[in-house]
Chain A
Amino acid sequence: MKQIISFSLMKATLAAVAFMFTAVTSAQAELLIRITEGADSAIPVSVVPFAENGSMPAGDKLSSIVQADLAMSGEFRPLPPEKMLSLPSKRSDVYFRDWRMLGQRYVLVGELTRNGDRVQARYELFDVNREERILGETAAAPASNIRSLAHHVSDKVYEAITGVPGAFSTKLAYVTLQRANGKALYRLQVSDIDGKRAGIRLESKEPILSPAWSPNGKKLAYVSFETGKPAIFVHQLSSGERTKVADFPGLNSAPTWSADGQSLLMTLSKDGNAEIYQMNLQSRKVTKLTNHWAIDTEAAWDSAGAGIFFTSDRSGGPQIYYMEKPGAEPRRLTFGSRYNARPRPDSAGKYVYYVHQRDRAFTIARTNLESGDETVLTRTESDESPSVSPNGRMLIYATKQNGESILTVISADGGAAYSLPASEGDVRDPAWGPIVR
């Protein structure tokens, strides 16, 4: 500023130059503080219980479900309502100073209005520090479907704050095993990601393995031993219609979908050795993608739908390999231990998650595909079947707790863990469904 004043005394012809000079120097002179690390803790957020107009269905309150969703993500730390100084439901009642004092960054307020058999939610999200509304919306759902409304609100809040679409409205598929009277009962179930509203889609005395969601979230492919031998089925969820697509001699296992939903990758041993094949679901024709004396299995398309991750023991033990395109020479990705298996890439193409054995413990690890850096994400010991949320921010896997298999959700970077409510018996083979628009 001083420089500008002093230079303004100079001739007009020099003024432009002088100003440039000033601009440069002042830009250089000004202090710059670079922040490269954020808080390690989760974001403090307050989900204020919504005001209610009219009678609401029994059960969990919408705000409680949202609170739980946000907490489950591991990215948020909701303030318990009893600690709140006030319970505003609209902007005029929000005193930012109070929320600041409570160290809150965001406040979600709203109200529910019963409208016949539907419930309408009007809600607003405020940035406490900026004292700005960053989200305001009205949404409605059947009164019986209040959880869907709540997950929708969670998704919106999550996206408004993080810039990433929420995955709270997505579904999980998993298999439970119940033993009763010495008999095993396998159930293929589909639930909300918090484990609620679980629904049995298939029951069998024979093992059900490896459920996989179709890209549109309407079908599941899985392996069922119901015929006495492993076969791959495609199951239409809305109708319950099932189609056995692969029943070749030998092994029929590990189905995954292509991005267009028109084909499956699967492991077949019909030619003697376990190899990876691609099956066109309409023609049912299979194409052999690998050809090696070792076992190649557990294939999955990369996020771009161009290359394929798979497990192979061609180096002696199971390791993760990657083919840039079907039939290309595979490249080994994991070297950290003797056992790395069942790769699952995230949707962003940044990481691949897999089961990783170290010191006899089976954990979940991920490798940064760009840097090759491997990070172990879990501290449990018998982890298996990792599955990444469609927004890449969460990961579900099966592990053992008190001798039983349970499902645990963690943030994709290995943060806070959230165990799904234990159902009867073992729970395994979780598969995270896609975001369905």
Chain B
Amino acid sequence: MTGQEREYTSTGVPPWKSPFAISVALHLLIAGVALAGWSWSSPVHEPPPSSISARLITQQKPEPSPVVDPVDQPDQEQERKELEKQKQAEAQKRQNEEKARKAEEQKKREEAKRKAEEQERKREQAKAEELKEKKAREAEEAARQKAEAEARERERRKAEAEAEKQRQQEAKRKAEEEKRRQEEQRKREETERKKQEERARKEAERRLQEQQLEAQAEQARKARADEAQRRERAAAAKARESQMLSESQKYQGLIRERLSQAWYPPSSATEDMTARLQITLLPTGELASVKLVASSGNTAFDNSALSAVRSLNRYPVPSERDTFETYFRQFTIEFNPRRLR
């Protein structure tokens, strides 16, 4: 399906256009042919069915028969008239021969026969009358027949026209229907196309969205991974830190112990005295420098603290360099007696 769609979209030619055009053209053609057929058919014969339209025209089979009848009729009339004429001529001839014979007879019978002749004339007259009447009747008949034929022709034409009209209407209807169908088809196709387009668009959108989502997900994954990594690092750092801390606490304890042993708080010391010293050590544990950063306010007390700090030959420090650098390179010692003797 998508392949088809791709074809449509790929060709760039509106797919609906050509069939529709063809269809319309076809219908027009049919209509034209039908009309032409109507105008042509009346003289001689129907147009020979050809190509695609044949199917449509063959469906109109009943129509040719009325067309064929009127075509033969004028020929029969003429023949009949000629025969009549011949008959009339022969009858004339026979009449003339009869006359001559009768004139001879008449001569013979003249008077006698005058009555008969009168009678004959009368009869003849009546016969002529009759003939005349017959002729009139025949003419009338002919006229009637003609009128009938005409009427039939009219009828036929009318029917034909009606049929044609019907046919046209039908064609029109069909065309319309076709058109409608085509329209519908077009619409369907359009709808379908639109649907397809919509689908394609949606698909594209979906894809874009998916891509975006994918990208987002990727980003999130990456972020998560980064976060995890960061956490891991942080955890490792923390673990390291806590290890260092515990290590440092151990050495803090050792230093505290050593300094406590080395510190002789002077008798002037009171619980509220605090001397704060900043100490800098070498990695060997040797004292690099000590600085009184906060005096207790009592020189003897400060000195006792300084002396204690300086009294240690070597501070217990961790051999682990990081821990040393973090905690023991430089630190602060606070001397603050809690329990005085």
- Assembled-state Cα–Cα distance A42/B263 (Å): 10
Instruction: Using A33-B333, A129-B307 as known contacts, say yes or no to A163 and B248 having CB atoms under 8 A apart.
Output: no
A36 on interface, CB distance cutoff 8 Å: yes
A37:B335 contact, CB within 8 angstroms: no
A435 on interface, CB distance cutoff 8 Å: no
B268:A162 contact, CB within 8 angstroms: yes
Cβ of A163: which chain B residues have Cβ within 8 Å of it?
266-269, 298-301
B307:A127 contact, CB within 8 angstroms: yes
Tell which of B114-122, B136-144, B174-182, B252-260 binds the partner.
B252-260
Instruction: Using A30-B331, A31-B327 as known contacts, say yes or no to A36 and B338 having CB atoms under 8 A apart.
Output: yes
Instruction: Using A105-B264, A163-B301, A415-B341 as known contacts, say yes or no to A35 and B307 having CB atoms under 8 A apart.
Output: no
Cβ of B265: which chain A residues have Cβ within 8 Å of it?
38
Instruction: Using A129-B306, A130-B310 as known contacts, say yes or no to A161 and B300 having CB atoms under 8 A apart.
Output: yes
Q: B residues 292-341 with Cβ under 8 Å of A?
A: 298-301, 303-311, 313, 327-328, 330-341
A35:B303 contact, CB within 8 angstroms: no
Other-chain contact of A31, B263, B310, B313, B328 (Cβ < 8 Å): B328
- Assembled-state Cα–Cα distance A35/B332 (Å): 11
CB nearest to B298 among chain A residues: A163
A38:B260 contact, CB within 8 angstroms: yes
A393 on interface, CB distance cutoff 8 Å: yes
B5-16: CB near A (< 8 Å → 1, else 0) gives 000000000000
CB nearest to A75 among chain B residues: B267
- Assembled-state Cα–Cα distance A75/B267 (Å): 8
Chain A residues touching B, range? 20 to 34
A35:B336 contact, CB within 8 angstroms: yes
CB nearest to B248 among chain A residues: A31
B259:A35 contact, CB within 8 angstroms: yes
A374-408: CB near B (< 8 Å → 1, else 0) gives 00000000000000000101000000000000000
B330:A30 contact, CB within 8 angstroms: yes
Cβ of A162: which chain B residues have Cβ within 8 Å of it?
266-268, 300
CB nearest to A414 among chain B residues: B341
Most buried by B among A35, A38, A127, A413: A35
Cβ of A134: which chain B residues have Cβ within 8 Å of it?
303
- Assembled-state Cα–Cα distance A159/B303 (Å): 12
Other-chain contact of A129, B260, B268, B301, B310 (Cβ < 8 Å): B310
- Assembled-state Cα–Cα distance A134/B248 (Å): 35
A32 on interface, CB distance cutoff 8 Å: yes
A32:B332 contact, CB within 8 angstroms: yes
Cβ of A161: which chain B residues have Cβ within 8 Å of it?
266, 300, 303-304
Q: A residues 211-248 with Cβ under 8 Å of B?
A: none
B261 on interface, CB distance cutoff 8 Å: yes
Cβ of A32: which chain B residues have Cβ within 8 Å of it?
331-334
A34 on interface, CB distance cutoff 8 Å: yes
A111-128: CB near B (< 8 Å → 1, else 0) gives 000000000000000011
- Assembled-state Cα–Cα distance A38/B332 (Å): 17
A105:B256 contact, CB within 8 angstroms: no
A39 on interface, CB distance cutoff 8 Å: yes
- Assembled-state Cα–Cα distance A336/B301 (Å): 34
B262 on interface, CB distance cutoff 8 Å: yes
CB nearest to A44 among chain B residues: B264
A39:B261 contact, CB within 8 angstroms: yes
Shortest beta-carbon distance from B269 to chain A in Å? 8
A164 on interface, CB distance cutoff 8 Å: yes
Shortest beta-carbon distance from B178 to chain A in Å? 79
- Assembled-state Cα–Cα distance A310/B340 (Å): 27
A43 on interface, CB distance cutoff 8 Å: yes
A160 on interface, CB distance cutoff 8 Å: yes
Other-chain contact of A164, B256, B267, B306, B340 (Cβ < 8 Å): B267
B256:A393 contact, CB within 8 angstroms: no
Shortest beta-carbon distance from B120 to chain A in Å? 155
Cβ of A39: which chain B residues have Cβ within 8 Å of it?
260-264
Other-chain contact of A37, B267, B300, B338 (Cβ < 8 Å): B338
Instruction: Using A105-B264, A134-B303, A163-B266 as known contacts, say yes or no to A35 and B308 having CB atoms under 8 A apart.
Output: yes
Shortest beta-carbon distance from B256 to chain A in Å? 5
Shortest beta-carbon distance from A29 to chain B in Å? 8
Cβ of B309: which chain A residues have Cβ within 8 Å of it?
129
- Assembled-state Cα–Cα distance A335/B264 (Å): 34
CB nearest to B307 among chain A residues: A129
CB nearest to A350 among chain B residues: B270
- Other than the known A35-B335, A100-B313, what 16 A-B pairs have Cβ atoms closer than 8 Å? A30-B330, A34-B336, A35-B256, A35-B263, A36-B339, A37-B263, A38-B263, A38-B265, A38-B304, A127-B303, A129-B306, A129-B309, A129-B310, A162-B300, A163-B267, A413-B340
Interface residues of A (CB under 8 A from B): 30-40, 42-43, 75, 100, 105, 127-130, 134, 159-164, 391, 393, 411, 413-415
Q: Which 4 A-B pairs have the closest CB atoms?
A: A163-B300, A163-B268, A129-B310, A31-B331
A-B CB contact pairs (8 Å), 18 listed: A30-B330, A32-B332, A33-B256, A33-B331, A33-B334, A35-B256, A38-B304, A39-B261, A39-B264, A75-B267, A127-B303, A127-B306, A130-B310, A159-B300, A161-B266, A163-B268, A164-B268, A415-B341
